[in-house]
Chains A and B, each alone.
Chain A
Amino acid sequence: MSTTNATSTGNDSHGDGHHDVSYLHPKGPLWVTLWDWATTIDHKKIGVMYMFATTFMFFLGGVFALAVRAELFMPTQVNEAGEIVGQLFANNIYNRMFTLHGVVMVFLFIIPAIPAAFGNFLLPLMLGAKDVAFPRLNLLSWYVYLLGAGVAIIALLGGGIDTGWTFYTPYSITGTEMHRQVFLMTMGAFILGFSSIFTGLNFVVTVHKLRAPGMGWFDMPLFVWAIYATSLIQVLATPVLGITVLLLAIEQAFHVGIFDPALGGDPVLFMHFFWFYSHPAVYIMILPGMGIMSELIAVHARKRIFGYKAIAFSSLGIAAVSFIVWGHHLFTAQTAMANAIFSALTFFVAIPSAIKVFNWVATLYKSGIVFNTPMLYALGFMFTFTIGGVTGLFLATIATDINLHDTYFVVAHFHYVMMGGAGIALFGGMHHWWPKMFGKMYNEKAGIAGFIFVFIGFNTTFFIQFLMGSQGMPRRYATYVPEFTIYHQISTVGSWLLLIGFLIHLFNFIASLRNGKPAPRNPWGGLTLEWTTDAPPIEHNFHHEPVIHHGPYDFEDVVPPFCDEKDYPLPAPLKPSDKKH
């Protein structure tokens, strides 16, 4: 009878005994603990496992990125003696490097990183729930992720693929020599899609059905709104990726010819299929980062977020618009009619994105900004994301895009959004919730040092690529004309600075785990529910089911839970003269 319920204790009295210990508390000897983690349906453990896996994938993808940048440090040339100089890898190896960088970073790191790692850990805590709606599905999603990652890594070890992460046909069917690897990699992407769907589906139901008593839709933290919008995209877009890569794998195996022009199919059809998922996927990557931003800015500036509803609805707005703009990836492939429509629609994405940025800026106005690592990352995000977003508008304009298409300008644009947006928000969020996740404080000075290296390194690497691209340096080329040498060298040096920054963060976190100061329950004075439980949280999240008494950002009205009133003084009541304007 208990087969359907692995967690049930059989009755309602679970206030005693082992349930009050931290979720990190070992269950016994090492193998018992490992087995407990491997079979856990606790959203926190699954989230933490996702975090370690995606961090590993980040460094794996990073190695490929460094290799690509190293190859581009010098142009490959043939000197007077007829020798090839300046070449680190053969051209076909280089092609695999940038492909694997893209595949690993997109499918294995950034899509699962924030929703699956932070979403899993934080969503139930922020909603005051004991777990996500379908805990076993959650565990399944984790193993499906591992399976997909495993298949992708087999493809990688088997020689990798050289199609670019977009798998464009007909090259990926007939042009490439890596047929088996392309088949494996597309099946890996197919499997990873299921993991993403399961996670998204779980979160949507959790938000609908498991909010704490008294928590209305507009009492939810903005991170939850962002994750909700992300989950909707995951549920609604990923199946199209599923059918796309499935058809591609079938084409690869049986040559059915739906996308292969030689057999009567159409390669542009593949582009439509692919980007119907992959454009919304861009918002799967950035939306959770925007959610993290809203939390970081409100908490570390200690001010009520400006325009709560505008930010909440702009998340849904981005999700909605994301589905009707995919054609801007095809400006050089589709017809002029489709170009005109998709270009016009693409500009609409700027509206909800700008609403968010303006609201964050307005929140910062006359607030009490604390310059710690999470806040610095939040400020860095606003800088880099704005650059990334505005250059997106240049690319949405057909006339400029025809020139800039497939140049480094595009590379710089999406790295400013992905790395400078989602990535930087992720690191900010990691510092913000680290004390809650592991109950240990990190070293603030090391964190700030890491931020400085990451921020300067990032901008050095990618800003120069805008200049390169606007002068015509095409992306994905293993070499270039010597005029671009200085640009590429600056960019490569920037990638080393980035590496230093990430390593500082990594060692800071490891040091924190080994001998960090124990974290208080609420180190930043946050008002959302996750700060009301222990650090790290107990197995069932809360000692008693939380009841909502105040909004997530009422910093002017309440002293944060478990904080001293001296540290967080409430503002004096407004004088009548202040209210006038």
Chain B
Amino acid sequence: MTTASPTSSKPLYHETYKHQEHWRNNEDEFEGAKLGVWLFLTTEILLFSGMFCGYAILRFFYLDDFTAASSHYLNWKIGALNTGVLLISSFTVAMSVRASQLNKQGQLMINLLISAICGVIFLVVKLGWEYGPKIEKGELPGAMFAYGGHAGEYIPSTSDPVFLSIYWVATAIHGFHVLIGVVLLLWLAWRAGKKHFGPKHYTAVENVGLYWHLVDLVWIFLFPLLYLV
């Protein structure tokens, strides 16, 4: 490729980015990719809607039991901590899009790394403080639920395993999305290190950002439904 700028020795990737051949221009490609990602996000929402539908129906069936199970098995403080972590990471991801639009490479890198670290914190809290103790205590979904081993006053209801089924499946699928998000954010950071993103080309930052916000959005609904009400 010939250089676009006569002064610098080698132009940066994002300055000379040329769209793929079948697109007409970079803008079309950017908008097309974004529309594609939005459609993908609709599929994600509909995927999670299955979990929400299951939750709604089963909660309707076991009205009081679900509330009791929620406050007994789940610690809202851990849930709230994770909510805060995800919200902050959402903010930093939005900031990283802004940084690439303004060509602030350092800020871009820092924001991407903070977001990835937040994702890791979320997963560590989830695994270490929720999944781990739950597996030890036998607070498992469905047939794996251990009725024995409950110290104190609490008498498990037969619908507790159903609540835990929804809890485990929904948070596990969500956690898997967080994991993918962290990998994508690290990939972005790696590319940002090679100065791939700038005002003229930041498609990947924008789109991974959208995905990460969706992961956050799902948690915004899962948190109150599972931990609070």
Contact = CB atoms under 8 A, between A and B. Distances in A.
Q: Is any CB of A less than 8 Å from a CB of B in the complex?
A: yes
Interface of A: 1, 4-5, 7-10, 14, 129-135, 137, 197, 201-202, 204-205, 208-210, 235-240, 242-244, 246-247, 250-251, 254-258, 260, 263-266, 269, 272-273
Given A202-B36, A269-B54, A258 B159 contact: no
A160 B23 CA distance: 45
Given A263-B162, A265-B162, A244 B43 contact: no
B165 A258 contact: yes
Contacts of B143: 254-257, 263
B11 to A, nearest CB: 10
Interface of chain A, main secondary structure: helix
B166 A266 contact: no
Contact of B142 (A132, A210, A242, A257): A257
Counting contact residues on chain B (CB < 8 A from A), the size range is: 35 or more
What 6 A-B pairs have minimum CB-CB distances, sorted nearest first?
Answer: A243-B50, A257-B142, A255-B143, A130-B22, A256-B142, A239-B46
B53 interface: yes
B39 A243 contact: no
B42 A129 contact: no
Interface in B1-55: 1, 13, 18, 20-23, 28, 31-33, 35-36, 39-40, 42-51, 53-54
Contacts of B161: 257, 263-264
Interface in B137-196: 141-144, 158-159, 161-162, 165-166, 168-169, 173
B147 to A, nearest CB: 13
A266 B56 CA distance: 12
Interface stretch (B57-65, B94-102, B110-118): B57-65
Nearest to A210: B22
25 contacts: A5-B20, A7-B21, A129-B22, A132-B22, A134-B33, A134-B36, A137-B36, A197-B40, A205-B35, A208-B32, A208-B35, A210-B32, A242-B43, A244-B50, A251-B142, A254-B141, A254-B142, A256-B169, A257-B141, A257-B161, A258-B142, A258-B162, A263-B162, A264-B61, A272-B53
Given A8-B20, A129-B22, A209-B31, 7 more contacts: A14-B21, A137-B36, A209-B23, A235-B43, A257-B165, A266-B58, A273-B53
Contacts of B46: 236-237, 239-240
Contacts of B42: 235-236
Contacts of B49: 240, 243
Contacts, number: 140
Interface of B: 1, 13, 18, 20-23, 28, 31-33, 35-36, 39-40, 42-51, 53-54, 57-58, 61-62, 141-144, 158-159, 161-162, 165-166, 168-169, 173
Between B20, B44, B48, B158, the greatest number of chain A beta carbons within 10 A of the residue's beta carbon is seen for B20
Given A197-B43, A205-B32, A247 B54 contact: yes
Contacts of A257: 141-143, 161-162, 165
A256 B165 contact: yes
B168 A256 contact: yes
Contact of B13 (A1, A202, A255): A1
A133 B47 contact: no
Nearest to B34: A205
A215 B228 CA distance: 53
A246 B53 CA distance: 15
Contacts of A256: 141-144, 165, 168-169
B1 A265 contact: no
Given A243-B51, A247-B169, A273-B50, A255 B43 contact: no
Contact of B21 (A9, A133, A236, A255): A9
B16 to A, nearest CB: 8
Nearest to A9: B21
B208 to A, nearest CB: 15
B76 to A, nearest CB: 23
Contacts of B165: 256-258, 263, 265
A98 to B, nearest CB: 27
Between B32, B54, B161, the greatest number of chain A beta carbons within 10 A of the residue's beta carbon is seen for B54
Contacts of B57: 266, 269
B28 to A, nearest CB: 6
Nearest to B48: A243
A322 to B, nearest CB: 14
A413 B57 CA distance: 32
